[in-house]
Structure 1
Amino acid sequence: MSTTSSRPGAERTDGPTGGSADGPSVLIGVLVPLTRPGWTEAGRHLLAGLELGVREVNDAGGIGGRPLELVVRDTAADPGRAAAAVDELARLGVAALAGEYHSVVARAAAARAEAVGLPYLCSSAVLDALTEQPTEWVARLAPAQSHGWRIYADFLLRAGHRRIAVAPQPSVYWASGARVLRDHLAPYGGTVTELDMRTLSPTALCDELVDNRATALLLLVGHPEPAVPIVKSVRADERLAEVLIGAPAGQPEFAEWATALGDDGAGVPFLRYLPERLGPLGTRVATALRERLAEAPSFVAFEGYDTIAVLAEVFRSHGVDRARTAGSWPGVAVEGTRGHIRFTRVPDISVWQWAWAPVHVVDRDPAQPDRFRVLHTG
């Protein structure tokens, strides 16, 4: 297998990964954020899972004797760049499109993939409205945002939080998340107050939290900026010692969070799409991913591996014709690292959806920040 990646400076081509497959490669186009302002750590983990999955498929003989090959393009969290990459990958002859972490980028990619007739298996983005209209061309592994964030709202209610403040940046993704929280909390007397991060400094944000008597602050912002300075300011303010800091989008999942914040980064609940205990396949893949990444794999790395498991099974069963791949989503039945994967039609979700990957609310244990605690199960 060779992997072509758009990285700073130049294109990179890695050598073969081994295995008995030969013949013309089956190409899979991959979108991942590998440079800023994209969430590069998520992109690195997603790509590691994809690459491991391809290596194992090729070691087992590929697709009818043909090796899988990833053609990787860096989106840098830019929807326009992603849409252009979809056009390029379609011209290069990829059999399917995979990947992406950022929801607004995945939405642009999905729209373009449908327009050019390219099947797209979205690995990690969660925005409910991934496409404007129902489509046969797109399927998704990650839970929809409304599903995961309702579980997070249930966690807040169970923990006794009714006065919630959110610190959002302008984005359809953050706005959608705030709306899910507000709609789910309102029947139980919960309120969601938005604090405008375009005008507030971290210090001024602390004053607003005091004035609003908020018991929880949710970070609906990018990482490391401005998430890290916000956390440091709130942790340093004695008036806010009892305020819960939350990050439903998963910022604390990655080692970069712990490195930047140390003990201040512990005790920040977030959504994690992993079972409490992995089965035999998940355990084996976790070991291989840890070796590949030189650190504990995030749930995003498992999403990458499961993406290849699904596409490889589709190609083996239906061939690599794009239209046949798009028509195969409802027949998928694959054992993934986090459970049995099937795609169905879910109300108000326009794509074929795995309903659902495991969802937990977890945090980094204050007593041992490199250990994760399960706080709530969806």
Structure 2
Amino acid sequence: MNKPPSPAGVERTDGSSVRIGALVPLTRPGWVEAGRHLLAGLELAVREVNEAGGIAGKPLDLVVRDTAADPQRAVAAVDELARLGVAALAGEYHSVVARVAAVRADALGLPFLCSSAVLDALTEQPAACVARLAPAQSHGWRIYADFLLGAGHRRIAVAAQPSLYWASGVRILRDHLAPRGGTVTELDLGAAVCDELVGARATALLLLAGHPEPAVSIVKSVRRDRRLADIMIGAPAGQPEFATWATSLGDDGAAIPFLRYLPERLGPLGAWVETALRERLAEAPSFVAFEGYDTITVLAEVLRSYGTDRASITESWPRVSVEGTRGQIRFSRTPGIHVWQWAWPPVQVVDRDPARPDSLRILHTG
């Protein structure tokens, strides 16, 4: 008889299970809703692995640590999980957190499959131990820039908070748009954003800012300014993906295009997982939940095929070929990216339909 999966929070230390460490933002200032979806995907896949017999007859246990979007806390979690003997690390949503976790994991020789963080420079130097499912920021944001150009937007303003991630996004947009006749103007968030926006004569404003604040307040201000009635608001980082966006903004939160990493149509596996995740979350699953599920699916196949010791897992990255919810997952070395990368997951630009804010419209694919 197959052993059931361990209840959440139970950590076996007697060698009776195969353990995977999970880094997830579950408390503020982390993006808690993203963390909840990521964890739901991870846990669903662990349940499926265990119902199918586990790993060589042993149950798969998920040892979860809350990073709270804190890089120092993440490094401490990586060290702790390494001491606990996990076979590999999974997860993390925030790029600046995943970055320090990836560097630390590689230094310790601990395999890390990053689920959701997109920063190109996840590590500054080539990392043998680290692989990533999410597309690099430069890949997704160039697709978003092409969407802007196709929609006739060449004068772009950005409301950007100080951050390596947001600064990287501005650079990607500017480098891609400038040769095509586009301009990117950075607004001062400490000033009157609406007045600055009028002065910039921009046709699109991109929110490179945290959710709920200051993103929600900026949207409300722009929507209520008659001078800006024709401006398009965009959020390439995906702030409108989650239900709290619609709850916070109502109709004001519709028609704000953002990136998500799903195919136009899910295959049989993806459709089944979508149903199971919807039941687990009591709401529509985000792409982040699918990333969580795919992370465990890949790691389980690696553990079954190549063993549970860390060196074998690290050596397996270039040999991985696993059916995920969003396509066949394989890792390769991609120019400019120092980790093993799935190149590429499907990318969409979508928004919330103004007629039905609970529904998403696909505007562009790449």
TM-score past 0.5 threshold: yes
Q: 1:14 to 1:320 in 2, by over 3 A?
A: closer
> Aligned to 1:126, which of 118, 122, 127?
118
Q: Deviations over 1:209-248 (max 9, x none)?
A: 0011010000000000111010000000010011000000
Say whether the 8 Å CA contact 1:3–1:72 is kept in structure 2: no
Q: Deviations over 1:176-221 (max 9, x none)?
A: 0000000000011100001122x22xxx100000011010000000
> Aligned to 2:60, which of 61, 65, 68?
68
| Matching of residue 147 in structure 1 with residue 153 in structure 2 | no
Say whether the 8 Å CA contact 1:23–1:67 is kept in structure 2: no
Say whether the 8 Å CA contact 1:3–1:70 is kept in structure 2: no
Give SS of 2:285's match. coil
Give SS of 2:23's match. strand
> Aligned to 1:329, which of 310, 314, 317?
317
Identity of aligned residues (%): 80
Q: Deviations over 1:268-305 (max 9, x none)?
A: 00001000110000000000000000000000000000
Q: Report the Cα offset of residue 136 of structure 1.
A: 1.0
Distance 1:81 1:105 in 2: 9
Give SS of 2:113's match. strand
* Corresponding position of 2:206: 218
Say whether the 8 Å CA contact 2:274–2:285 is kept in structure 1: yes
Q: Deviations over 1:75-112 (max 9, x none)?
A: 00001100110000000000000000000000000010
* Corresponding position of 1:352: 340
Counting matched residue pairs gives: 361
Q: Please show how residues 56-135 of structure 1 align to structure 2 within 5 Å.
A: 56-135=48-127
Distance 1:311 1:240 in 2: 48
Structure 2 counterpart of 1:94, which letter? V
* Corresponding position of 2:6: 2
Give SS of 2:26's match. coil
| Matching of residue 173 in structure 1 with residue 165 in structure 2 | yes
Structure 1 counterpart of 2:277, which letter? L
| Matching of residue 235 in structure 1 with residue 227 in structure 2 | no
Say whether the 8 Å CA contact 1:365–1:373 is kept in structure 2: yes
| Matching of residue 315 in structure 1 with residue 303 in structure 2 | yes
| Matching of residue 282 in structure 1 with residue 270 in structure 2 | yes
Unaligned runs of at least 5 residues, structure 1:
5-11, 16-21
Say whether the 8 Å CA contact 1:221–1:227 is kept in structure 2: yes
Q: Report the Cα offset of residue 13 of structure 1.
A: 4.2
* Corresponding position of 1:266: 254
Give SS of 1:277's match. coil
Distance 1:352 1:259 in 2: 37
Give SS of 1:328's match. helix
* Corresponding position of 2:329: 341
Say whether the 8 Å CA contact 2:11–2:61 is kept in structure 1: no
| Matching of residue 257 in structure 1 with residue 249 in structure 2 | no
* Corresponding position of 1:190: 182
Distance 1:262 1:372 in 2: 14
Structure 1 counterpart of 2:249, which letter? L
Give SS of 2:345's match. coil
TM-score (norm. length: structure 2): 0.97
Say whether the 8 Å CA contact 2:20–2:88 is kept in structure 1: yes
Q: Report the Cα offset of residue 2 of structure 1.
A: 2.5
Superposed CA RMSD = 1.3
Distance 1:336 1:294 in 2: 22
Say whether the 8 Å CA contact 1:339–1:357 is kept in structure 2: yes
Q: 1:292 to 1:14 in 2, by over 3 A?
A: farther
Q: 1:3 to 1:216 in 2, by over 3 A?
A: farther
Say whether the 8 Å CA contact 2:11–2:63 is kept in structure 1: no
Distance 1:272 1:34 in 2: 21
Unaligned runs of at least 5 residues, structure 2:
none
Say whether the 8 Å CA contact 1:329–1:352 is kept in structure 2: yes
